[in-house]
């Protein structure tokens, strides 16, 4: 694997520099499959998204609604990054957004506000 490929799916926390889950990770979202995969906001994000989809009518613009939910998260956190993961074959790539809060207090506040929706 060349250096460019390895950088595609390894993001570092802007606050502590780790590439693993850390106390700053608010949310990791797979934009391709429209689901949260990690972070303190994961369960509440997936629950809210599920409710939105369930209550949507026939003319539902799923992409627009998902983007609006991501913008809501972005307004509550201190940093975010987007990256693509190429999984080694056709149809095996995903686009991700990862969101970080600078402190555990800010992360708790983001959770509280996002939970209230």
Is the pLDDT at 3 greater than 50? The verdict is no
**Which sequence spans correspond to the domains of the chain?**
35-116
| Proportion of the chain in helix, strand, coil states, percent, rounded to 5 | 40, 20, 35
Over the stretch 46-68, which tens digit does the pLDDT of each residue have? 999 999 999 997 788 999 999 99
Q: What is the structure's pLDDT at 88?
A: 63
What are the C-alpha distances in Å from 102 to residues 69, 78, 79?
21, 6, 8
- Please tell me the least confidently modeled range out of 9-13, 67-71, 101-105: 9-13
């Amino acid at each position: 694997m060349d250096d460019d490929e390895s950088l595609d799916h390894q993001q570092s926390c802007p606050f502590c520099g780790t590439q693993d889950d850390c106390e700053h990770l608010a949310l990791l979202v797979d934009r391709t499959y429209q689901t949260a995969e990690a972070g303190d906001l994961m369960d509440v994000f997936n629950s809210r998204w599920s409710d939105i989809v369930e209550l949507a009518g026939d003319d539902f613009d799923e992409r627009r609604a998902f983007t609006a939910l991501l913008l809501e998260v972005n307004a509550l956190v201190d940093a975010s990054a987007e990256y693509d993961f190429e999984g080694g074959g056709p149809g095996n790539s995903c686009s991700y957004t990862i969101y970080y809060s600078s402190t555990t207090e800010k992360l708790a506040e983001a959770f509280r506000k996002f939970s209230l929706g």
